[in-house]
Structure 1
Amino acid sequence: MSFPPLENPNFEGYQVTRQMWLEYYNSHEGTFYARKKCNGCYDDHRFVVWAVAVAAQAIVDGARIYPELKPLIDPAIQIFQRYKNKQIKGYSAAENSGNDRDIYYDDDAQVASAIITAYEVTGDKKYLDQGRELVRFLMSGWNNNPNAKTRGGVHWHVSKNYLNACTTAEVAKACLQISKFLPQEAGTYIEFAANCIDWQIQVLQDPGDKLIRDGVSDNDTKINDVKWTYNVGATLSAAAHLYFVTRDQKWKQIAEDLANAGINRGVFFYDRDYDDSKRYWRDPSYFNQLLIEGLADYLLFVGEEVPRDLVERIHEEIQRHLIMFYEFMKDPKDGMYIQSFEPHNTYKEVYDTKYKKHFGDRKGWGLKGEDKDDKGNPAKCLMGYGAAARVFFQGARVVPHIDPYQF
């Protein structure tokens, strides 16, 4: 099967979202259900809450643009209740009877974002109530241990000492999202978000390349130096939003530094085995979608104050990655996506026909473990579908239309 060049990223996101629903939503079970075990399943058929959050966010993102997706919002958001700990109001990694404590604050921040966006799109107050309750729980994850070697930051898990970049930024992002709809409480959420991003910059930002390092334990001072795209993206979203609501120039500068870092082809998360013109984000789609969202949020919240050359470079980089993702990671048989963003870790026929043409034989063909089944064949999953849809929906905020191109 051959596909025409990518023209309308929003429509591509719609197609993926629609197929995701047909493939994974089981109306009898009232949840997303895998017909065959795949990445993101915690047993043979059910998905961890992180995968559900990405899928639900794709649905509400799409429903902003395509009203025919709105009927899917309520059953998708309702799935989260199967994961909820009714005592502490957080959402466990797995479906449970209401008292499981395997709860990750970063997963729950993505759940909160999906629920709050559902309120934005539908106006249904029950989502606002659910979002508020969950954001209040998220704020309880702040590290206020007076004996901690590293103070501040939001914990990764309710029972672990690790302070995550993604958790801290995503909680800040959720606080800022809900502040818009609760004006009497807005100051509390904005102040908490500001503390999160202050901590992120002071403790985890590399002063050299401006990327955000992964995290640190509260009982240590040694920072995990791994730098993922989504840590930059989520921090950028929050910093830009903070500038929008406070007009404090500090946040604008932080956001500009992060935006420049996110599209700097010489930094850690680009594949630098190639010449500059062919470098790409090598993280998986479920991380890269948050960097794309961060760049789009930056352009939205900072607006006309973004330097003109930076606007153009962000547009170019997002368009380039949308085209690459579409051309290399789209299944020639059914048009859906695996999670890889690396053009050599793709379908064999795509590697043989496209990779070699554009990149030569610099890297050998292979599939990442999360993109293949137990027999080594390509395998897709709920997370991959949701992340792919979000890559296109978020990318379309910056690049709504792509002119004809040769590939």
Structure 2
Amino acid sequence: MYSLPSLLQILSFLILASFSVAAPLLKKDLASYDPNSAFQSALNATWSTFWNYQYNSFSANDPTCQGAEFTSPVVWDIAVAGRALTDSGDQAKINAAVQNLLQYRRTDGWFSASTAKDGDVYVDDNSQVLWVFVDAFKVTGNQDYLDVAQRLMVLIRSQWNSQSGGVQWKLDGDYIASISTSEAALAAVRLYEVSPDPDLVYFAQDCLNWLYSNLQDPADYLFYDGLTASTGVVNKGKLTYTVGTALSTLAYLNKFTGSNSFIVSAVALGYAAAGGKGAFYGSNGYWNNQLQYVHLLFAGIADLVNIGVAANSQQSAAFGNFASEAKRNGAYIYTYLQLGNSGNYLSSVTSGPQSMFSKYATAFQGTGSYSPDSTYFCGGNVSGAVSRSFMDDSSAAQVFYEITRL
């Protein structure tokens, strides 16, 4: 059974959070934009730039870069693009993305990181793949997609570590990650929505209970990255995607059980991540995680607002605060991380083209210095053309879709 943090802990944290929401934020000129149009633009840019009809697959490389050859992305990247496509409802492209994912599926049902279909298998990747198949089933009604998701859920549950608890990050590995545990929980409740099985809800609760008991930082209420089962050593890094998937799972558990205790936990966690300050905020006053991680925080907030049921005015106010903060950060992404008006995006405003940084530096003086990174440029030439990013474009599309839900 899911055990909540102590009431005193939550109340103490919420008192502190109430002040952080009202913390002064730097005034910046954010673009006024339509998130629906931004979603379609980012999605179209992702497809038109990276889909390769010859290989019936996305490519990891920007084809406009001189000498760039087709290269299969890792499965995580395709899962992110696949989720954005299922959000669009375009059945032809959804089916194409699903068939692309199946190029990574082993005979036992696991999806490898690469098309080699080898032992390089990660449970968090597979959880995200499951989300795509569940959503593809919801849009298309194709039973084969549901069958793949159900088989994958059996495999994911097999990675619960019998000694330390938690869900292993790599297949049969020793590292128990917060992201593999929270994403496995979300996979369970998202599958439950289309294929009800009480054990899925129990499994999700077990995952969250373990996460709160073993990887929560009592100082700021966020989650550490993970721990090594054999030694108990904790990696104290923190990323937004763990919070995002936990928020989504809490919202679904509230829906399926009717218990407000999940909303109490979600509100406290939401203030920790999106309260105006804390580990996820940079010196410019905005979320500092890369797009490949932060889009799941947007999704978690959107799920909480749309699926969770607030039981009182304080919880309703919290939902509104989180939605406003997601919209504010979405406007920042649209304004400063977009390459012109192309619908293409890059995660780092300080490491890409000089023009992107110059626009940022004008608005955010003293909060960053320009340091071009060769990985953002064709052929690694920082004086040359920009190399667009498949993952960043896909993540941006998800960000703007989630904002349409707010």
Call closer, same or farther: CA 1:163–1:102 in 2, change over 3 Å: same
Which of 379, 394, 399 is the matching residue for 1:386?
A: 394
Q: Which residue pairs with 1:371 in the alignment?
A: 376
For the residue of structure 2 that corresponds to 1:180, the secondary structure is: helix
Call closer, same or farther: CA 1:362–1:251 in 2, change over 3 Å: closer
For the residue of structure 1 that corresponds to 2:111, the secondary structure is: coil
For the residue of structure 1 that corresponds to 2:176, the secondary structure is: strand
Call closer, same or farther: CA 1:355–1:36 in 2, change over 3 Å: closer
Equivalent residue runs for 1:57-68 within 5 Å? 57-63=83-89
Q: Which residue pairs with 1:66 in the alignment?
A: none
Q: Which residue pairs with 2:228 in the alignment?
A: 217
Gaps of 5+ in 2: 1-29
What is the aligned-residue identity percentage? 27
Call closer, same or farther: CA 1:216–1:45 in 2, change over 3 Å: same
How many pairs were matched up?
368
What's the CA shift for 1:22? 1.7
What's the CA shift for 1:94? 0.4
Distance 2:322 2:372 in 1: 29
What's the CA shift for 1:157? 0.4
* Range with bigger deviation, 278-287 or 310-319: 310-319
Distance 2:332 2:277 in 1: 18
Equivalent residue runs for 1:6-405 within 5 Å? 6-34=32-60, 36=62, 45-63=71-89, 69-87=90-108, 89-96=109-116, 98=117, 100-145=118-163, 151-183=164-196, 186-271=197-282, 273=283, 278-305=284-311, 307-332=315-340, 334-340=342-348, 343-352=349-358, 354-368=359-373, 370-373=375-378, 374-376=380-382, 377=384, 378-398=386-406
What's the CA shift for 1:362? 3.5
Call closer, same or farther: CA 1:359–1:288 in 2, change over 3 Å: same
What's the CA shift for 1:201? 0.6
One-letter amino acid of the structure 2 residue matched with residue 128 of structure 1 = L
Call closer, same or farther: CA 1:362–1:386 in 2, change over 3 Å: closer
Gaps of 5+ in 1: 64-68, 146-150, 399-407
What's the CA shift for 1:396? 1.6
One-letter amino acid of the structure 2 residue matched with residue 193 of structure 1 = A
What's the CA shift for 1:25? 1.5
What's the CA shift for 1:345? 4.1
Distance 2:206 2:374 in 1: 38
